[in-house]
Amino acid sequence: MDQPPGSATRQRIVDAATVLFLTRGYGGTSTRDIAAAVGIKQPSLYAHFAVKSDLLLEVLLHALRPSLEESARLQADPTLSAVERLSALVSFDVRLLCSGAANRGLLAYLPEVRATGVAAQLASHQKVLHDAYRVLVAEVLAERRLDGDADRLTTSVFALVEGTVLRRVVDPELDPDATAAEVAAGALRLIGG
């Protein structure tokens, strides 16, 4: 095993912080807690991140990355219909939101994300994903020759998908595949038909 660029420790810090922020909250997680989970001493964190909120930003970007990559991949796929591409993106995102040890989707909605100013640094990345949803919704409307306000429908679809985050808070055992299928079907019903 050779060392990944930026060192593997940095990624282990991000992973540990993700779980801790979601279980104890950002303010309830001390830099000592994070260091202990990684197996290093607290001041060693500052060799990787200048301040605690920089770590929060990295955690957020890392949680958003898979969705951004999948949406880019799907938008460029000519073998799928619009309905198939939207369904695939919704399913992917919902499955992602239901999977893994921690409810990563909740991260972006923590109050500290806005209080620390990290939200502003994250906004452009979130906009890319939201735009991908809007494009797909508009394409579904066109493909099915439906009337409908694409912008409003997009926010509804997005709310339904992101609602998965809140469902998982209440029910941590939420089944990824069943929920993905259910939300994907719900999204199409929301658009009309």
Partner DNA sequence: GTCTATATAATGATAGAC
Partner DNA sequence: GTCTATCATTATATAGAC
Cβ neighbours around 169 below 10 Å, total: 13
The verdict on 133 binding a second copy (CB under 8 A) reads no
Select the binding partner of residue 40 from a second copy, DNA, none (C-beta < 5 to 8 A, by kind). DNA
Residue 22 C-beta: closest distance to DNA, Å: 15
Q: Decide: 54 and 117 in contact? Cβ < 8 Å.
A: no
Query: Which position has the token pair 């909250």?
Result: 25
Choose the stretch contacting a second copy; rule: CB under 8 A; options: 4-12, 24-32, 63-71, 82-90: 24-32
Q: How far apart are CA 83 and CA 141, in angstroms?
A: 9
Q: Of 4, 23, 25, 47, which lies in the binding site for DNA, with binding defined by CB under 7 A?
A: 47
The verdict on 26 binding a second copy (CB under 8 A) reads yes
Q: How far apart are CA 115 and CA 102, in angstroms?
A: 22
Q: How far apart are CA 137 and CA 157, in angstroms?
A: 9
Select the binding partner of residue 186 from a second copy, DNA, none (C-beta < 5 to 8 A, by kind). a second copy
Select the binding partner of residue 106 from DNA, a second copy, none (C-beta < 5 to 8 A, by kind). a second copy
Q: How far apart are CA 129 and CA 118, in angstroms?
A: 18
Q: How far apart are CA 79 and CA 88, in angstroms?
A: 13
Binding site for a second copy (CB under 8 A): 21-29, 106, 108-112, 114-115, 126, 152, 155-156, 158-160, 162-167, 169-170, 182-183, 186, 189-190, 192
